[in-house]
Structure 1
């Protein structure tokens, strides 16, 4: 058995999800079909008095996901936009490409793109590898999935390396590493910056306790305190913030932080203020 698989104590029945979230059975099925919720694990009901022989069980985190989706709908977002924010394309939950394919009945006319490569308007891709400023990409579970050399050295001070990202790890785990703490005096400010983005999609702090393997009670306490302190960022596609890194020797480096929301996650680009 996979040690990372949820236990029965970590699961909630479909009946309980309907009761606590207020959604209909049809909406629940639609969320599963869209990939917003995982397919249920089928098992025996916990109540021995029920006549039902089998029932579906979901991770507890599905309640938080449903609450977030309902909030996005109240703000006027379509289901297509919501699934796009989550980077989903159906029950498999696999990431979509950055841009959709050509319109039905349309034709693809190759045009000359950068470096002489054909440009297909219906197959747009964004290349981030050559960004010259410190940059990194997080998915919507706030796991680090890409980081450039400039960010490794200038932001994370060696606590993060691209070659170590074969298995995605929470950005918050990296920000608790001693290599980062011993060089960055205001590490709590950097935690707050990322928590403000996490709070956009995490509508309660129940997820923090299971954020990453080995998280300590002290780390949980710090993150829960920060969650209560910060406000979620706006849901605009492109946002600008400012951040400073204060090193333990008293030196400070300031950045304008541009974030871009894609279907796959959030891209952060740190432009040093002296560059301007």
Structure 2
């Protein structure tokens, strides 16, 4: 069901009529994100910068106008289009990141038909060694948030650590703009295996890409075009046919209304790289004109 059809159904309860035909003042649906529903990042080195605040979240609306950092594991953004994304043959939508060869910061993608019930889109690391289901992490706000400070975390597997500061990001890493001034942030989801290793030949850390199914991930089809739309290049491609429920059972989705992306690694990389944080730089629907 298209959004304008939904609005017309509501209009039937009022005296206002609704015309579903596109006119000169109604150019049709946009293929770009129309609204950020929620931005709730985890602590990270880009939080409270131009890549990690409320203004940055609005930057992914309407095109490719910037990149939004989700911070450490679990940090997320939820967005939607001005229409339902339909399940068509092949790719249904694409998500843009800033991945390149040797620098993948994979994020898991979930979809919802109603904004309440969510389904995960499978990726290549489902069932792989090191993939943790039902992983939960809790971050604790540092005592001072005037400048950068390590942010402690603990998880439901007995792990403890910190989101450590890096030299060139001196602002506070705790998301100070969140409503309610939370003293703790908790996130749950699937944690992917660490993907960082030291390259002797390159004299640097390399964050290896996973094969498929994740945002901000240098996958084999990253630079391919879909739907004869050149704007779909340099993106990760997603198919609603890969949706599964919490138990990993396949589900059939004909259309969805909201998309969620969250950082799926809890990993700190040395040599000044810092925590792994997924970036979202926009998204595009392949069913805007359907």
Do these two structures clear the TM 0.5 threshold for a shared fold by scoring above it?
no
Normalising by structure 2, we get a TM-score of: 0.22
The structure with the larger Rg is 1
Q: Identify the structure with the greater helix proportion.
A: 1
Q: Identify the structure with the greater strand proportion.
A: 2
Specify which structure has the bigger relative contact order, considering alpha-carbon pairs within 8 angstroms and separated by 6 or more residues.
2
Normalising by structure 1, we get a TM-score of: 0.23
